[in-house]
Structure 1
Amino acid sequence: MADASGPEAEPSDWSFLLKWNNYSGAEDNGDLASWEPEDELLQESGSSTADEDELTEAQTATTGSKIDDDEIVNIINASIAHYTSIWEPNSGVPKEDWIVYEPEKMWEDAESKGKRQQMISRYKAEVDWYTGGLDRLCEEIMEFPGSNSDAVRQQCKNLEMTVYNLELASWLLSIYSLSPESDSDGDIHDTERGGQSQLAPVDQSDQHAAAGIIDLGSPPASSIGDANEVSYVSPVAATAEEHTPTFLPLNLQDIHTANHGDEPEQASLATVRRWLWRDLIETQDRKRVVLKALHELHAADRENIRSRLKVVGKAKCRQEIKAYINMLSRDEPRIHGVLQRDFVKIQIIGRLFFSWWYCDDYSTKAPSRADLGELSDELSNSPLDLDVFYDFLCKIMDTTFSQEALQHPDRPSQAEIIEISDDED
């Protein structure tokens, strides 16, 4: 089968997916189980040729499925296209956790703090992460599709949150990827639209590629029935440079951005990812500041924290943070008597404590010497603050950042799952 990203791919093979170009913005999260794609391949038919019967029997014998690979591919494609077409920046997010995204302000804040390239790298990594996740989910559906088209559609519901997260990461990447020169061209300041200066999601005609649409090309006759030749386009092929941001009001200004619930230590990774630094700093939400800072660390650094907490315990950790503060206040390069490999771990935990104490992002900066002196005095008078920080850090390493949670970053935490009772039982 031809690769949809190659030169042999015909636009007509998947052009029907571009119908969302005229997406009205109305909320339509219809159930896929009752939603039928228009492609004639998806219509149940009572007639079949003898060759088709033989093919179905062969597939049923090997995979337990009575549905051929082409139909599975079309259902997966249609499902991805459906979720992509209805995506908005807060899709899949409980209404109380909706966020007002201000693209222009986000870009300017990152640029003024010298963090725009860091944000670009971060969201490129997220695009790659969710791309791989979507690929794996599609492969699992292809391998175990079920016995009929309804079973395939039911499995395709598992694609929803991954598609939403991929779309959000791609959109945020497109915002931070705008160059400073774009400002003078009107890409950020929209002078022709009555002062409207909100950037909008990426051009949605490119978002189908970003969501990983499976190849719709018809295979040659000799390859029919060969499941290994059913391929799909990796979303990595759709880079940020291909996205063209346009202007479109998000109409979310009535949403309270800092309402995050009462138990931050029970938040899922997907929830933490949506929090904005400016909200956390404005509300002086120290617990969520630590969660956000931990979320943005490299995986290796998080594991260094985990191992250090287990090895040293509370009393030793408290001493190490104080020693790190004293080292910085004396402008010394290292803590005397501490191995370099241990110092790296102490430094990471120390910076997390600064983020906690000052309710700000201290992952790449340190307090002034005057502030460090005041902090040292405060901790001498009130050592319990370090204990509270240590206990909270241990807690979230076992909840939000547990090994299981890190393996399933899109999964809501147990506390975020709303149980619905069955009145009929």
Structure 2
Amino acid sequence: MSPPHPTSAMHSLNLSDQNASKPARRDDEPTLDSRKRKRLTPVHLASEQLPRKATPRSIQPSSAFNLEVPTNSGAWDHLNKWNTAHDTIIGGTDDEEDEEDYCSDASSESALLGDEPENGDEEARFSAEQSRTKGNKLTTGDVLRIIQGCIETFEQAWTPGKGETKRKNETSEVEVPVVYDPLAMWEQAEADGRRNELVTKYELEGDYYRQYLDKLCDEIMKDPGTTEAKVKLLCENLEITVDNIQRAAWLEEIYRLSPERTSDDESQDTASGIADGVRPPPNSLPQSFGHPAPSQIVDLGTPSDSESDSSDEALPTSIISARAVPTRRDRSTTSNTHAGISISEPVIVDSVETMNTPAGLAAGVHLGSLGDAPEQSSISTVTRWSWAHLEETQDRKRAVSKAIHELNPIDRENIRQRLQKVGRANMIREIPACIDMLSCGATRMRGVLPQDLGKILTFTRLFLCWWLCGNYLQNAAPKADLLELQGCLQHDASDLSIFCDYVDTVLQTTFSVDALSYPTRPSQAEIIEISDDDEPCNTRNGTQTI
């Protein structure tokens, strides 16, 4: 049998309009040698030919192919073998199968997680969750304690130059940490005449960042969360602001140092952040701090040599080394002048006390020689006062002056600045709260930042020196005295106002900026002018206030 022509199949097929495809060739189809083939009449498939009646759920093909179902073609009879009694018609759509798969997956996940569908168990679990959350809820005091602890941690971790880098040189792109030289910075600012300007700049910068820190803390207090970890996570945003506050305060303290105090070893150590406690030995003091020459200073009632030596050793660093770096005015004077007093200006300095004075006459000599205006005393006069004598005479004013004299220069300037900025009324209210903290043995005050707590504590200890008339700057006051003071302040707080008035006055007279620049110069009330005539006892002004 010869194969048909390639085009014979195309011409021989006659498709109806209802057919979508052509039937395959059957085995019983007659074979013709000619190009024309016999036309076949399609045989319709009857329903009774099926071995059983079945109602398919869906026999339509997918609508995506836009195909019509053949109805009058019998060319598909050979496919009836698949319609057996043991086969089922496939039904359902893809969407239904996907939905069933999703439900089965969800049920398996629920089984793995141990979820139970019972409503009672879910309600019990929800109530337990709520009770556990309510039990762990932080109070306002807890949140405040966490915030203060984080701020204190950030302050202790701060160092000059933290997080600051600069290029190693102009051509290199390598970044190196910034290392500050406080002394060189101060000298450069003083040479340029910008020291006071920088003080104001960093003072305003510190105030700005403190206000911003308060704002951030208020935001945390509004929505702190329910756990301590959540509050600490929110407090991490405060670190940069705290670092900026510390940097501004550090630079302000450096540039605020007066020219005469920059040579002070203690001031340098404080400004540079290194406190090694090194003090010059007594034999390195200037000659003017030893026994003065008779032509320069006339001392009425000079104490013994042992007392003079002990007084020289007791001089603080801020006084004994104040002349190490001479100022412009000092450079113009000769080496025989000291603290602005030349040889041609004799002065008489009244001695404060003598060691050989009997104890019974100590009070009379003290009042008679010192007078009733200790706020007009000079720094050199305050230096000669002893705590034992002040405790014996219960002289509160002189005890406070002595305590201010022994304060660190930075602490003394902080008190001066807080009296001007914070105000006396606010500082008076801080003292009872700090005394309550000390009496309870606590280490924090509610609503006070750690950076301000030290300043408040110093001022409160100064008030204890006033109230108890003793040296309580470094020594802790007895708890019984604190409780007694706490009760007294609740009934009458007039002593607080008197104390603040005296401290404010002393900082403007005895410890003024000019007096600290020349610590050995007597005050105007202590100077007795002697006439130049031949009468040595004739004085123009014989009145001696102190």
Q: TM-score range by the shorter chain?
A: 0.3 to 0.5
Q: Which has the larger radius of gyration?
A: 2
- Name the TM-score, length of structure 2 as normaliser: 0.37
TM-score by length of 1: 0.47
Higher helix share: 1
Higher RCO by CA contacts (8 Å cutoff, separation 6 or greater): 1
